Chain A
Amino acid sequence: MSEDLEKSKIKNEGVLERTFSTETMDGQIATLNLGPTHPATHGIFQNILKVDGEKILSAEPTVGYIHRAFEKMAERKSFQQITTLTDRLNYCSSPLNNIGWQMTVEKLCGIEIPKRVQYMRVIIMELARIADHLICNSVIGVDTGGLTGFTWMFIERERIYDMYEQICGTRLTTNIGRIGGFERDLNDKFHALIQDFLNTFLKRFEEYNALLDRNRIFMDRTIGVGKISAERALSYGFVGPNLRATGIDYDVRVHSPYCSYEDFDFDIPVGTEGDTYDRFQVRQEEVRQSIRIIKQAYENLPKEGVYHADTPLFYLPPKENVYNTIEGMINHFKQVYGEMPYPVGEVYHSIEGGNGELGYYLISDGGRSPYRLQFRRPCFIYYQAYPEMIKGQVLSDAVITLSSLNVIAGELDA
């Protein structure tokens, strides 16, 4: 130590000790509570970490802070009412959950959906996927220190929400559509919005992509961070972009197509390493592919036509019939009171949600509400791999790993 420094130390005696920690990484193990409410975790997640210095030795996640017993509540609600519960699972992409649930009931009741309605659903589901991935990826940017992209991409998300608003009147918890289709047709405002969106989105998205894609700081922070091998990921029940980042091309849209996904031409991006950077890249590419799907669906969508299936037993009648005709009113009441002939049986239906295979296991005893309804919530299943993924890494890496997994508290706790 030079003399000057030595002098200044004497001069500031006591100050240094108060300002800087004298702790060293000498094997002393501390227990640290990350969460339940912590600005770096986007949602209510608690992790009890054992740390040596900043290195994480082990983590124990505690879940259930916003458990709302949806599966129990679903046993009391009628089929239409359950759509509002599914909104609150993955609230970053509510329409996906809504439509997935409606398709489950349609599968149970054997309702055939017209092509136009299927295409409308595809458009909305892919918009929701874009919104979901935009949030996830821009939040990774925030956690690595770049707030610009986040605010930038929220403008685009806002435009998607404006489109939801034209279809269903709400923005976040959408309750979009009905069993059998939609409750109203796409309006002119929606057409204007989506045309504008399709024309301008990709350009802005690539600008955002350029911020992080080959950014040295971003790459250093994410490559090799939160890595998981394909074998472990499969064992942990990973699905969706997180599984595809490890190199396994499992996508429900291709594997068991629903809603006419077989009509569209699109690619499934896969990663190789299964780290945070690959998860980021897979989501970025999926956004581009979603735009590709929307373009195809929108071009082939007839401008005029039906917007719901012809199933008077399960689709609520138009309000003017309910208020003006006795048949309409009886039909409405019978549906709301659950006197419709719901089949006895069970179905499992899964869709490719924002985070992967979102499944609905429905057991019906013919009553107005399910006998048992279980949601296969991808977050809940893959979040248990989190301790394994952050073991041996530093605290700041744990934070970006969490955001790159896109763990949504609502879906985690149901």
Chain B
Amino acid sequence: MESKLTNEQVLEALRAQFATAIGEEEQTIDNYLTVYINSKNVHEIVDWLYKHPEFKIQFLTNITGVHYPENEKGKELMVVYHLHSLQNNFRIRLKAFLPIENPVIDSIVDIYSAANWIERETYDFYGIIFNNHPNLKRILNQDSMDYFPLRKEYHVEDATRQDKDDRFFGR
């Protein structure tokens, strides 16, 4: 099934509506529309895409966090939203940067019920706080855990180990 929307069309509409909140477009290998957005406008943008009469982007594929410790200050954490329009067979990926000291972003549970557990998982793994979430607590790990395990400073193996240093393996 061919997509009825083009990347340019959706991007232009987004820019026209939100102007400065929409950042750069990222080129991807599989031509998946990827847009950087301002983290303060996430709820607004997702809601607008949901209610748009033509785009009908009304399916939440996934939400995830990514940690970039090397990034400039204020952009260490990233939240990635994958949204999908089943009617138009169109997918869009929204990315928002957050500072690691205060990673707060608006929840979209009121738009997508599915966001509930996914946001809890993102909180569990990266410590990203979702405003207005009904029940923001850990989901896969135990409540007593006092760190966020998918951040890059926590290694899978003992960090002091020298024999498996990435430098020797092509990194």
Residue from A67, A73, A232, A255 within 8 A of B141 (CB atoms): A67
State A339–B166 Cα separation when bound (angstroms).
11
Contact A376–B62 (Cβ < 8 Å): yes
Q: Which residues of B come within 8 Å of A, CB atoms?
A: 1, 28-30, 32, 34, 58-62, 64, 66, 80, 82, 86, 89, 91, 93, 112-114, 116-118, 121, 125, 139-142, 149-150, 154, 156-157, 166, 169-171
State A228–B141 Cα separation when bound (angstroms).
29
Contact B140–A359 (Cβ < 8 Å): no
Q: Kindly report which residue of chain A lies nearest to residue B91, judged by CB atoms.
A: A348
Interface of B is mostly: loop
Interface residue A372 (Cβ < 8 Å from any Cβ of B): yes
When each residue 291-331 of chain A gets 1 if its CB lies under 8 Å from chain B and 0 otherwise, what string results? 00000000000000000000000000000000000000000
Q: How far is the CB of B30 from chain A (nearest CB, A)?
A: 5
Contact count A vs B, C-beta below 8 Å: 111
Given A73-B156, A347-B28, A384-B117, are A237 and B140 neighbors across the interface (CB < 8 Å)? no
Which residues from B are CB-within-8-Å of A76?
A: 156-157
Q: What class of interface size applies to chain A in its complex with B?
A: 35 or more
Contact A237–B59 (Cβ < 8 Å): yes
Interface residue A129 (Cβ < 8 Å from any Cβ of B): no
Contacts A361-B64, A384-B116 given; 10 further ones with Cβ under 8 A? A67-B140, A67-B141, A72-B154, A338-B171, A346-B34, A348-B32, A348-B61, A348-B91, A381-B114, A414-B140
Q: Which residues of A come within 8 Å of B, CB atoms?
A: 63-64, 67, 69, 71-73, 75-76, 107-108, 110, 232, 234-237, 248, 250, 254-256, 337-339, 343, 345-350, 357, 359, 361, 363, 367-368, 371-372, 374, 376, 380-385, 413-414
- The 3 lowest CB-CB distance pairs between A and B, nearest first, are A237-B114, A339-B170, A64-B140
Can you show 7 pairs from A to B with CB atoms below 8 A apart? Answer: A232-B113, A237-B112, A250-B86, A338-B169, A346-B34, A348-B93, A367-B166
